Structure 1
């Protein structure tokens, strides 16, 4: 029983990371209909920026406190997301390019970010110091690394904030209007360019935060973005592409399927990598709208 409860904490923390990646997809996809596969590299960039601020990787005497690292990661990734939208997506949209054109351009951005990280930091992983230390933490019957509980708390806070933004604010309603009908939203006076730029900036910031949170458990390395991008997209498909809460549900389901399967099924550990692809194919075939269907347009 103790083993199962520890596995529950580990799976929940992993599911929260997958959920943040799914949320990053959703924030961009909702108002633009663009699937941004570069978010995995944005997560890796956030991890490296965080390690650089928290340690002496970027500057010999830096060693900034964790809240400063969080603020810097959010600002840097937000600016990078905004720049990517301005330089790659907006010119294509203005020219009336096909919807697949920005997706292909963002795949190019993925390669640029990955190669840049390799040139700047090399291929070796960089450990990231956890903000709460390395001791074992017990909360009631649940036990695990402090970073796992920290990931869960931060993820729930982010999801609550994003849900409130979409459901209770004027700007959130503007995002929803653009998602429903871009032409009608423009006729109502909504600035489509500003909404798209904010979506990319916010999506990049969320992905960077996911990279920063996971880096104490996995270290920061240049190839960490690809599996996170796959798991985040799978979580989005499982939960539903139209709802914020669907991203969280999908991430948790995927993580529990992975870790319970790896622990209790009589299969080689390498085959657990097939879980995201198997669930992705299954949901695309049987329930492409995900577990939580989008709300009807009113």
Structure 2
């Protein structure tokens, strides 16, 4: 039983990482309709930000993590200004920003590989390398820290969309951009904030997972796939859907690796299998958008 509960804690922490990446996708997709597959590379940049601020500069963890989040918000804002806004202002087709962001994915990856080299870089955990036991439930300090931070982020995101005027503005743009513009909402500002917030959340996911996997230049692609799969599972229209999808995906992955009679390499295909199944059977995800409910 103890081994099973420890697996539950580990899967929950992994699911929280997937959920944060899914939330980063959602923050941009809802108001803009743009799927930004560079989210995984933003998480990778967050991991290397953790290496620079927490390991190289040895800043206090809270200050270093805040610096990573702030820097990634700036990266998201600049990316939107340079690659998305010019295309939108010129009336480019909806596919154009997606392709431009795919190009930025390559840019981010190559810049990091040239700047830091191919070797993984260490990132210290928030509370050290230790183990916490709460009765029969046990896991690493970092796992519990990831779970706590993720729950706080999702609580803040839910409160933002449900309880603030700015959040209602985002929802209005998501429902009908033209009507929102006619009501005086600044679409350019909403888009820039959406990209800044998405990058900040993705960077946070990267700095949280980096102590477990180290920061390396290829860590972004798996996170991009897993985060997008989690979003498809949970539903694009709901903040809580991202969290639900991330947990479901992580439990499916880790329980398959531990208990299914298949090689670990094949178990890594679980996200792609779930992605295909949900796209075919329930493309709206488990939780439908609020405007779609009756």
- TM category (shorter chain) comes to over 0.9
Offset of residue 228 of structure 1: 0.2
Offset of residue 297 of structure 1: 6.1
Q: Distance in 2 between matches of 1:297 and 1:16?
A: 26
- Summarize the alignment of residues 1-298 of structure 1 with structure 2, pairs less than 5 Å apart: 1-56=1-56, 62-296=57-291
> What RMSD over aligned residues (CA atoms) do the two structures have, in Å?
0.9
Q: Distance in 2 between matches of 1:55 and 1:22?
A: 27
Q: Distance in 1 between matches of 2:209 and 2:230?
A: 17
Offset of residue 157 of structure 1: 0.1
**TM-score, scaled relative to structure 2:** 0.98
Offset of residue 195 of structure 1: 0.2
Offset of residue 296 of structure 1: 2.2
Decide whether the 8 Å contact of 2:55 with 2:122 is kept in 1: no
Q: Distance in 1 between matches of 2:103 and 2:291?
A: 35
Q: Distance in 2 between matches of 1:100 and 1:48?
A: 30
Offset of residue 47 of structure 1: 0.6
Q: Deviations over 1:262-297 (max 9, x none)?
A: 000000010011100000000000000000111126
Report SS of the residue matched to 1:296. Answer: helix
Report SS of the residue matched to 2:290. Answer: coil
Q: Distance in 1 between matches of 2:227 and 2:292?
A: 26
The number of residue pairs the alignment matches comes to: 293
Offset of residue 140 of structure 1: 2.4
Q: Distance in 2 between matches of 1:224 and 1:40?
A: 8
5+ residue gaps, structure 1, are 57-61
Report SS of the residue matched to 1:124. Answer: coil
Decide whether the 8 Å contact of 2:14 with 2:250 is kept in 1: yes
